[in-house]
Amino acid sequence: MTIRDIQRFSEIRYQARAYLCYLFTRNIHNNMPSPKLDNILVQLDKIAHEVDNFEALYVLDTKGDQIIDNISKNPKFILGKGSNRSNKAYYYRTVKEKRCVLTDPYPSSLTNNLSVTAGFPLYDDKGELCYVICIDISLEDILKISNTSRLDNCFGYFSKIIYTLFAVALFLVSSVVFFNGIENFLSSGFNLAAINIEEMFKATILLTLSLAIFDLVKTIFEEEVLGRSKRVKNGGVHKTMVRFLGSIVIALAIESLMLVFKFAAKEETANIIYAVYLLGGVTLLLIGLSVYLYLVNIKKKKQ
């Protein structure tokens, strides 16, 4: 499970809850005179045959005590009778809200994986609470039930493969640029009296570009492959964009400065105008980056 799965659950939570509530209301008759446990077990058996993947089905009394062993397709999960669940969110929220509820993902005591539980209150004809019916489903399975088709899932895996390939390719480019920058740095020599300023500038530009490309690779791999999205809390995409553009601006500024030294050393003053043009381009990039940051801040304030 990844952060992306939890985010996907938050997006489809209402659809998942609607599906599970419909499942309960279609199979379990509410507001009946003196609901009997035997009849409820028959109705739960119908649900167990209708839902392909679930961890456990069970019944709680009005005090939150589990009055039957779990109904499960896994023999190892058929247990739990006598356990008190009154401190569980799916119990007290169901009792308090008097309706079907769906919990947030939590570590399951049965599988140790993230799961969700739907609670359904069962009332008699006088409106008195008799039982709370619960179903545990893993987060992975609830996403499959409520979310995408097989084609969508295949496309998701295909997208991850493509992003991985692009990340690897960009990492190779970053590595080549990095080693080229190191080579230029070493070729400049360590003799301060005879240091090659042009080679030092080239090495700085190459290393800066390598860092910018690597930062882009890191963001692509974390967000698109591993699903560790930072968009909600930290604005990871915006920060990556700023760092990438900032690295480009620095590299171009260094390049323009190098041209000034180069043309001045060769007394080619007429060609300095090209360095001025490059500085003008750097200035436009800085203005564009400033506008971008300003618009991002406005959007954040509106949200």
Question: What pLDDT is attached to residue 163?
Answer: 85
Rounded to the nearest integer, the mean pLDDT of the chain is 82
- Report whether 192 contacts 152 (CB < 8 A): no
157 and 125: one domain? Answer: no
- For residue 101, count CB atoms less than 10 angstroms from its CB and return exposed for 0-12, middle for 13-18, buried for 19 or more: buried
Query: What's the domain count of the chain?
Result: 2
Least confident of 155-159, 228-232, 281-285: 228-232
Host domain of residue 184: 150-302
Give the pLDDT confidence score for residue 87 in this predicted structure: 93
pTM greater than the 0.75 cutoff: no
The domain spanning residue 54 has which CATH number?
3.30.450.20
When pLDDT is cut at 50, 70 and 90, the band that residue 234 belongs to is very low
As to burial, measured by CB atoms within 10 angstroms (0-12 exposed, 13-18 middle, 19+ buried), residue 122 is buried
State residue 132's pLDDT score. 95
Residue from 257, 248, 166, 241 nearest 206 by CA: 248
Last residue of a domain, one of 113, 146, 179: 146
pLDDT band at 233 (very low <50, low <70, confident <90, very high): very low
| Residue among 119, 104, 13 at smallest CA distance from 58 | 119
- Same domain for 160 and 220: yes
Render pLDDT for 211-232 as a digit per residue (tens, 0 to 9).
878 888 887 787 777 766 554 4
Residue 218, classed as helix, strand or coil, is helix
pLDDT band per the 50, 70, 90 thresholds, residue 81? very high
- One domain for residues 107 and 181: no
**Rounded CA separation 241/285 (Å):** 13
Q: Does residue 191 sit in the same domain as residue 289?
A: yes
pLDDT tens-digit series, residues 82-121: 999 999 999 999 999 999 999 999 999 888 889 999 999 9
pLDDT tens readout for residues 9-55: 888 888 889 989 999 999 998 888 888 899 999 999 999 988 878 99
The more confidently predicted of residues 251 and 281 is 281
Q: Please say if the pLDDT value at position 240 is more than 90.
A: no
Calculate ∠ Cα 98-102-108, nearest 5°. 125
